């Protein structure tokens, strides 16, 4: 870990709830480092590192990657200098064991989870969102065939890179992800509710409206 750590925001939501979409906007607006464990795993898979080889099977089956591997990767990421300005976590923690390790790691540096916004979306909507999602190769900017198409089909508006569909967005894997992961998410939501830092936001609204609600939840008076 870095010598100190700034504000820590944990963005919670089911697969497809809009974590990545909102995390990219919020981290820029608030000057926080965007730390997404899914993106870190996908980079490792692409680069064929030993971490990527380990993670790939779990990701393809829609399962969580084992805690030991995930936590080590996360702690290495938090040790980078940009964490000092504060972090916005997207996709971590995914279970209470990860939440407890995070609390301890932050406490060791005098930090804590300041606020945990939860983007709530019904399960039927999640399936439609993931089925129509395209993301860019360069930076993972997310698009959707119906709700957020790119200006030029197949090309990222932001950086001009090619758009592709994640292998874990195939219907059978989407079902597996929801089946395997929603129970653990509920427990993480309860964990942060008990700590008094949970802020639920209606994720069924349009992207801009959800951003506005999240910014309100993240206003300094709210943690
Ligand atoms: P990860 O990459 O974190 O995937 P996920 O949690 O399943 O979430 P997604 O990235 O699919 O969805 P999102 O919430 O980011 O939604 P998005 O903004 O893209 O993890 C992948 C895998 O890695 C896991 O399955 C696991 O194997 C492993 N892993 C990762 N972290 C781990 C951990 N901590 N422990 C263990 N294993 C881990 O939006 C989705 C779509 O909806 C887009 O098309 C978007 O344009 C659209 N959309 C967004 N908002 C709206 C809106 N308001 N209205 C309409 N459409 C919208
Ligand atoms: Mg994401």
| Strands of 133-136's sheet in order across | 142-144, 133-136, 163-164
Mutate which of 17, 45, 91, 207 for ligand 1? The one with the most ligand atoms within 8 Å of its CB, which is 91
User: What pLDDT is recorded for position 109?
Assistant: 83
147 lines ligand 1 (CB under 6 A): yes
The CA 3 to ligand 1 mean position distance, Å, reads 30
Question: 133-155 pLDDT, tens per residue?
Answer: 999 999 899 999 999 999 999 99
Angle between helices 123-131 and 171-194 (to 10 degrees): 130
Spatial CA neighbour of 181 closest among 46, 69, 59: 59
Of all protein residues, whose CA lies closest to atom 53 belonging to ligand 1? 207
What is the pTM for the complete model shown? 0.96
Question: 85-135 pLDDT, tens per residue?
Answer: 999 999 999 999 999 999 999 998 889 999 999 999 999 999 999 999 999
- The b/e string for 171-209 (b: 16+ C-beta within 10 A; e otherwise) is eebbebbbeebeebbeebbebbeeeebbbebebeeebee
User: What pLDDT is recorded for position 44?
Assistant: 96
User: What pLDDT is recorded for position 3?
Assistant: 66
User: What pLDDT is recorded for position 134?
Assistant: 96
| Strands of 198-202's sheet in order across | 33-36, 87-90, 8-13, 116-120, 198-202
Biggest CA pair distance of the chain: 47
Check residue 156 and report its DSSP letter.
-
């Amino acid at each position: 870990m870095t010598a100190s750590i700034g504000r820590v925001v944990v963005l919670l939501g089911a697969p497809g709830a809009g974590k990545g979409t909102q995390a990219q906007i919020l981290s820029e607006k608030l000057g926080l480092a965007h730390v997404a464990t899914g993106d870190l795993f996908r980079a490792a898979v692409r680069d064929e590192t030993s971490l990527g080889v380990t993670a790939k099977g779990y990701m393809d089956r829609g399962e969580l990657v084992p805690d030991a591997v995930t936590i080590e990767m996360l702690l290495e990421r938090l040790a980078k200098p940009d964490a000092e300005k504060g972090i916005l976590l997207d996709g971590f923690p995914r279970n209470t064991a990860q939440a407890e390790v995070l609390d301890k790691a932050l406490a060791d540096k005098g930090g804590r989870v300041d606020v945990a916004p939860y983007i709530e979306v019904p399960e039927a909507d999640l399936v439609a969102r993931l089925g129509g999602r395209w993301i860019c190769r360069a930076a993972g900017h997310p698009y959707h065939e119906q709700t957020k198409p790119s200006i030029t089909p197949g090309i990222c508006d932001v950086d001009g890179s090619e758009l592709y569909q994640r292998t874990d967005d195939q219907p059978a894997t989407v079902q597996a992800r929801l089946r395997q992961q929603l129970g653990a998410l509920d427990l993480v939501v309860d964990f942060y509710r008990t700590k008094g830092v949970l802020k639920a936001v209606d994720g069924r609204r349009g992207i801009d409206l959800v951003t506005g609600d999240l910014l309100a939840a993240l206003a300094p008076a709210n943690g």
